[in-house]
Amino acid sequence: MALQAKVITVSDGVAEGVREDRSGAALADRLVAAGFEVVERSVAADGIASVAQALTEAARAFDGLVVTTGGTGFGPRDLTPEGTRSVLEREAPGLAEAMRSVSALGRLSRGSAGTLGGALVLNTPGSTTGAVECLEAVLDVLPHALDLLAGGRPH
């Protein structure tokens, strides 16, 4: 099974062109190193509606992994989990819990995980280290999860 991924950076600063997208680049590099083909990278402004729209577009006719970076904390514009939950069809709390357990600061992440059509969606923090650590916490089970989501019956 070919593993494909899309990375969405959620950041007003990156969307406005005043901040460099380091965490999106780091996630893409880590995914490639793990055998994924990163077929798209995009940017969305912070906010419930903008995140929901970006995820809906990314998941349309796509069977693979969609990873967001940014907007999972306690700041007033950190609304990625709310935008994500508004479009998820099924939540995957075990993935979100595993990502939060990687470090002390990981416990401050409010990120969600779940499915949207044929896509598996993961929210990671906006810090480069936090994003990669959270992805690595679940990377080993993602191929199996994607196989199951695509209708595979490996058992």
Task: For residue 7, give both structure tokens.
Answer: 């990375």
Contact 122, 71 (CB under 8 A): no
Q: Which residue has the tokens 């690595």?
A: 136
Binned at pLDDT 50, 70 and 90, residue 45 comes out as very high
Is pLDDT larger for residue 106 or for residue 37? 37
C-alpha 123/C-alpha 118 separation (Å) is 17
Percent of the chain past pLDDT 70, that is, above it, reads 98
If one looks up domain 4-149 in CATH, what number appears?
A: 3.40.980.10
Q: Which residue has the tokens 């595979």?
A: 152
Which burial class, exposed, middle or buried, applies to 52 when counting CB atoms under 10 A from its CB (0-12, 13-18, 19+)? Answer: buried
How crowded is residue 76: how many other Cβ atoms within 10 Å of its Cβ?
6
The answer, yes or no, to whether residue 96 has pLDDT greater than 70, is yes
Instruction: Give the mean pLDDT of 144-148.
Output: 96
- Which pLDDT belongs to residue 150? 94
- For residue 71, CA distances in Å to 9, 60, 146 come to 9, 22, 24
Instruction: Give the mean pLDDT of 67-94.
Output: 97
The domain segmentation of the chain, as residue ranges, is 4-149
Task: For residue 59, give both structure tokens.
Answer: 């998941």
- Which pLDDT belongs to residue 153? 79
- Which pLDDT belongs to residue 40? 98
Q: Which residues contact 139 (CB under 8 A, 6 or more apart)?
A: 30, 34
